[in-house]
Amino acid sequence: MIPPRKGDVPRGKMGPVGALYRRARPATFDAVVGQEHVKDVLKSAIQKDRLAHAYLFSGPRGVGKTTTARLIAMSVGCAADPEHRPCGECENCRMVREDRHPDVVEIDAASNNSVEDVRELRERILLAPLVAPRKVIILDEAHMMSKSAFNALLKTLEEPPEHVIFIFATTEPERMPATILSRTQHFRFRRLSEEEIAGKLAAVLEAEGRGAEPEALRLIARMSGGAMRDAESILDRLLALDVDPITRAAAEEALGLPPAERVAAVAAALDAGEVDRAVAEAQRLFSEGYSARTLTEQLAQALQAGLYARLGLGEGPELASDPERLIAALTALDEHTEKLIRREDPFTLELGLLRVYAALHTAPAAPAAAARTPEPPPPRKTAPRAAPAKAPEPAPQAANPETAPAAEKPAEAEGAAPPAAGEVDLTAAWREVLRTVGVKVRAFLIEAAPHLEDDALVLVYDEGHRFHHDRAREQQAAVEEAVRAVLGRGVRFELGKKNSVAPSPSPARRAAPTPPVQEAPGPTETPGTAPEEAPQAVEAPPAEEEPSAPDPEPPPPEPRSRRAGRGSGPQRPRRERKAREPAEPRFDKIELLDDPRFKKLQSLFKARLRQVWREAGEEGDAPDPEAAS
């Protein structure tokens, strides 16, 4: 039991009127329990006369925020020396403690949170103080003020009169505007420990002329949850009992808690595997009026105390289970407590006891289950091996390395023809190359048409992309490194002829990779087709058939007008359509092209008009200029 501190109410002088937590409120900084990080700064500021114009005290309930604000108000007009302020005995200090000081204004911001209240406060602070050198404005529960009220107070708080000190107290500092936080000195109060609360309660009991068992004081401290005001309120309830000293049993009965010995007996029965005895004792406690939630919480505290006793961290019931099993039991009981929020009946209570029993006595089965879990990985390893089985050709090449070059020589002998799809997936390889190189290099490679030739990857650019060709050659080292990492080949850049049409789309929308333009004249157009029809094969209608290609994102090809003979299956309908085209249209193209009206339409619609005219000639109808639009 700690001795009384300076500022505590002397023995026998606590009046019977009023709540205990108000009568036991500290009158000096030395009487404040805990919060040393706050007290030291404020005491130094008071001694040096360096109090700020605004403070913000935040923290849990009942830890001393409002009390500290009152101590500052007492120290402002205290008659004692600066080193001993506040003294708690002078007239100024007594007036503050009795809530009758004219220069100390304590406002409940929860109910006075409007702009009108702030306007009235601003008018009051303009008046000079009557008794003390400065006025102290305490706003409790400051986070409840409205946004408009904060804005109305902002200018006054930023430049207050020299004779005003603002003190904000709140439990939710995150709800305070940042403009208020930046204009105040923020002190965060912490929860109090059980030892600090028990010591203060012992001092209060001594002042009251009463006594209590240490176990009873620790029970009160644990029930308070770190709040001194809650502990003093519980003690005030126990002081009404005709018991001196206050025992733990009396405290448990007054607080509606089950006896600790009976709860420890339930924990010991579960630990020993006697689940029937544990359930029977729990049923008797429930029938005596104790709630299932209270019994579960007390059982958890008993198991926790037993765990601490096993670890040498404190006193508790002697349990034979290992710490790992006790931790598992506490976890299961904590999860089960959430179900008690929805329903509290004997079945839910018994279910919680069974979960604790299972955690304490079936824990050895967990390693066996864990030992079985490594068995599934072998099937997972075999699953990826089934993917290469879809391509059986590479396996014989790896097994017979001498036959692999022989299989590649026919592909190389074909010259312009790309290798077979089964040997090298150029589309996927080109995508991997584009992903490997950086963003800057990829911008120059995206307009190239790749194809394999000998032991190199040839990147062909048309004349319209000479800039991309030159920039890509400057980055040849980086490109070749990426190509060798993906394909194991070198790289070569070539500049082809200028296309007669607009640049081809990005690689994500082009067909399969094809040879360069220089090698394209192999398959020619129909003999009767005029030279002007060369760009017509890359118009909008053929482009609509591109989605039928097997891969919608291959590397860029050359214009398909000269490559129809090299295409795969999806290009055959287009070749058949070309074969059905008449060698010469039935109308005179030369006269039509010289017509100034046609030239005007051509300047508006460009190649689209040619295509529409061509389709009209095939159907034998007269060309309709409006249809072209």
Q: How far apart are CA 216 and CA 250, in angstroms?
A: 8
State whether 527 and 554 are in the same domain: yes
Mean pLDDT, 10 residues at a time, the chain of 629 residues = 47 57 90 92 93 94 94 93 90 92 92 90 90 93 91 89 94 92 94 93 91 92 91 91 87 90 92 92 92 91 91 85 91 88 85 92 52 46 42 42 40 40 70 82 84 81 84 85 82 63 41 43 40 41 42 48 44 51 48 70 64 54 47
Does 150 map to a domain? yes
Q: Look up the domain containing 624 and give its range.
A: 585-629
State whether 113 and 31 are in the same domain: yes
State whether 550 and 474 are in the same domain: yes
Does 406 map to a domain? no
Q: Alpha-carbon dihedral of residues 444, 447, 452, 458, nearest 10 degrees? A: -50
Does 6 map to a domain? no
Residue 60: predicted pLDDT? 94
Residue 41: predicted pLDDT? 94
The enclosing domain of 50 has a CATH number of 3.40.50.300
Give the list of residues 6+ apart from residue 438 with CB closer than 8 angstroms, or none.
478
Q: Which residues of 539-576 are buried (b: 16+ CB within 10 A; e: fewer)?
A: beebeeeeeebeeeebbbbbbbbbbbebbeeebeebee
State whether 179 and 198 are in the same domain: no
State whether 33 and 98 are in the same domain: yes
Which of 190, 207, 241 lies at the terminal end of a domain, its last residue?
Answer: 190
Which of 205, 227, 257 lies at the terminal end of a domain, its last residue?
Answer: 257
Does 404 map to a domain? no
Total domains present in the chain: 5
State whether 591 and 539 are in the same domain: no
Do residues 11 and 209 make contact, with C-beta atoms less than 8 angstroms apart?
yes
Distance, CA of 344 to chain centre: 35
Residue 591: predicted pLDDT? 60
State whether 39 and 161 are in the same domain: yes
Residue 312: predicted pLDDT? 87
Element (H, E) at 136: strand 135-140
Alpha helices in 528-588 (DSSP H): 540-543, 572-580
Residue 345: predicted pLDDT? 85
State whether 204 and 166 are in the same domain: no
State whether 50 and 179 are in the same domain: yes
Residue 76: predicted pLDDT? 93
Does 293 map to a domain? yes
Give the list of residues 6+ apart from residue 361 with CB closer than 8 angstroms, or none.
273, 325
Residue 611: predicted pLDDT? 58
Residue 608: predicted pLDDT? 57
State whether 129 and 32 are in the same domain: yes
Distance, CA of 450 to chain centre: 44
Which of 163, 190, 217 lies at the terminal end of a domain, its last residue?
Answer: 190
The enclosing domain of 237 has a CATH number of 1.10.8.60
The enclosing domain of 557 has a CATH number of 3.30.300.180
Does 509 map to a domain? yes
Do residues 64 and 178 make contact, with C-beta atoms less than 8 angstroms apart?
no
Residue 493: predicted pLDDT? 77
Q: How far apart are CA 600 and CA 610, in angstroms?
A: 13
Residue 159 amino acid letter: E
Residue 551: predicted pLDDT? 47
State whether 330 and 471 are in the same domain: no
State whether 124 and 205 are in the same domain: no
Residue 606: predicted pLDDT? 60
Residue 365: predicted pLDDT? 44
Give the list of residues 6+ apart from residue 202 with CB closer than 8 angstroms, or none.
1, 2, 212, 217
Is the previous residue joined to 541 through a cis bond, with omega within 30 degrees of 0?
Answer: no
Q: 221: helix, coil or strand?
A: helix
Does 498 map to a domain? yes
Does 29 map to a domain? yes
